[in-house]
Structure formats: C-alpha cells, structure tokens
Amino acid sequence: MATDDLMSKALTALDEVDGPMSVEVIHRLVDVSAAADPMTIREVADLLDMSPHTLRYYERIGLVEVGRDASGHRSYDAEAVRRLVFLTRMRLSGMAIRDLQHYVRLADEGDDTVPERLDLLLEHRDTIRRQLKELTLSLAATEYKIATYGGHTGPSSAGKA
C-alpha cells in the first residue's frame, strides 16, 4: 500500500516549526502507540495532550469504552488508545463530536457499516481539503498584511518577544 507516500507527505508537512515533536506526532498519527500494556488516564491525557476531564467526558458520551483496574481506576488498553488517537485526529481536523458519535456507533455495529463509514471519511477528507485551501489563503493574506507593515516574512517569529 501507499503508506510510504502518506508518510513522506506527512513528513514534508513537518519541516520548519515544532522540531522535536515530529517523531512523536508521526507515531500518534499511525497509532504506533504500540505499547501493549494498559495506560492510566494521566498517561493517555499526556500522550494526546488533553485533560483527564476530557477523557472521562469522551467515555461518558460513548466515544470509547474503558475498563477499570482493581481499585476502580480507568485502564486504557491498546484498543481504547487506538480509538482515542483516531478520535483526537478527527477532532483536530474539525469533525464534530456528534459525527464522531455516529461513526463510533457504526464501527460498533460491525463490518456491515464499512461502506457508510467510508462515505463519512471521504466526506471528511473533502472537508479537510477545503480547510487547507482556506488556511492557505489566510496565510497568504496574513503574510501580505505583514509585508505592508514592513515585517519580513521569514520562517518563524519564534525569537521575537
């Protein structure tokens, strides 16, 4: 499959900014959260850069099922983590919680719903593409404005304040 294409695509998007997080992000992206053993809520929260509050919220609205350990604490297995990685990736690209609930419901209904899920994904892909275009325009507009203000349009403003 064209996984390498996707990878290189993703990697080219990672030049410049951020730097040290690129590897981590790629791992998250393809859910190489490999680790077999269950994680605590804190660990998952740190991994996905979200709060434990939000993780509990996602569970309670039915986005993910999470087991408990002996003392009643949440225990996120590989499956749960995988799903959460996917969910946060979709959230980051603007998919509504409502739609994720729909998707998850379909996923839980089994293979019969693959076509419908595929449709949802294709639609979302188009949405992302539209967003990319809008953002690119906004970037151009912002850089244009920066130029009129006499700012240089360098790689980053990181070292300013």
C-beta of residue 76 within 8 angstroms of C-beta of residue 84: yes
Binds DNA by CB under 7 A, chosen from 9, 42, 133, 145: 42
Q: Of 153, 156, 133, 135, which Cα lies nearest the Cα of 143? A: 153
Q: Does 159 bind its own copies (CB under 8 A)?
A: no
Q: Is 150 in the site for DNA (CB under 7 A)?
A: no
Beta bridge partners of 67: 75
Distance in angstroms (rounded) separating the CA atoms of residues 69 and 120: 35
Which listed residue (23, 24, 25, 67) binds its own copies by CB under 8 A? Answer: 25
C-alpha 124: how far from its chain's center? 13
Q: Point out which residues bind its own copies (CB under 8 A).
A: 1-3, 6-7, 9-10, 13-14, 16-18, 25, 29-30, 86, 89-90, 92-93, 114, 117-119, 121-126, 128-147, 149-151, 153, 156-158, 160-161
